[in-house]
Structures are given as C-alpha cells and as structure tokens.
Structure 1
C-alpha cells in the first residue's frame, strides 16, 4: 500500500451508497456484467458506461463516484479505445479493512 494514502479519502469513498454499490457489483463482474461484449469484465474490468447504467445514474455522476473510489485506491481504471474500464483493487481493499479493524477493534 502507498503509505501516503489518505485514510479520510478512503472513508469518504465508502460513506456513499452508490460507491458501496459499485464495489459490490465489481466483486462479481462476471455475474453482474457478463453481458459486456467489448472485453471480459472479470479479466479486463467493467466499462464505466455499464456501471452508470447499473446504478441508474448519469455518466458524469458515475464518473465522480468512480474517481473518488480511484483516489481511495479501491478501484483501478484503464482506457481502451474510447472507453474506461474499472476493476476492484482487492489488495488495497483488504489493507484498508485490516487497518480499520485494527483502529476500531476493542482489543487494539
């Protein structure tokens, strides 16, 4: 993990229902986005347009949510042709959950 990762950005990222929904949907991209034809959703990532559609929100709104998740390190995004594809960053999510558990555990 980037030791300079701002935990407040990570907490902000998970404090939103739409962003939590994105993380849930991306947990099983094959099940939730198996209809994506441009690239394998599990291997390559899920097109931002499909994520916006799944959330039933406008593309610019979805982009803002995805940008916060990206800043938090919880997703990665890559461009292919004119589209952007998102994947969960499992290592960063697990590291954050471990940190959070250590911070709020009654045994810490």
Structure 2
C-alpha cells in the first residue's frame, strides 16, 4: 500500500496534470486516474469494478504531502493490487514524488 507521497516544486494541480498525462501514455492509464476533491487526492481504478484510494492533502512550505486516509477496494481488484500499486508508484516517482510504502 502507498502510505503517503510528497512532492516538492509543484502545486497539487500541476502534479495531478503531470501524472494524468503520464498515465494516458501507459496501459495503466486505461484503468487508473488521479483527481483532486476538496482537501483529498483520489486515485481511482475502474475496470471490472471500481476502487478508490483517498489521500488527505497537507500543504508544505515547498510543496505538499498526501497521506493515506481511506480506501474502498473492489473484490475484483484485490488480487492485482500489489502489481498495480508498484506501477502507480513508478508513475508518481517519475513525476517527482517521493513515495512511502
């Protein structure tokens, strides 16, 4: 599980745009999306069910941190969770995030 991730030098909206652009160029982008809803960053997986992982947003002096808050994982996604999270971590890191698993 991705417990948290932090980003420096980008706003939340800039980071979400960068991650969304990266996802759109990968197979993972067919099932995964990242969005901002109030003070939460939500990662959604949609294929044969819907899963959401919600992170609370904490602004920092030089960026922001997203801390795992809650999740709703579809039964059909549980078997693939580790693989999907590994791929998602790589996308987050390639866009400047420091991921804590």
Q: TM-score, normalised by structure 1?
A: 0.33
The two structures have a TM-score, normalised by structure 2, of 0.35
Higher helix share: 1
Q: Which has the larger share of strand?
A: 2
Q: Which entry has the higher C-alpha Rg, 1 or 2? A: 1
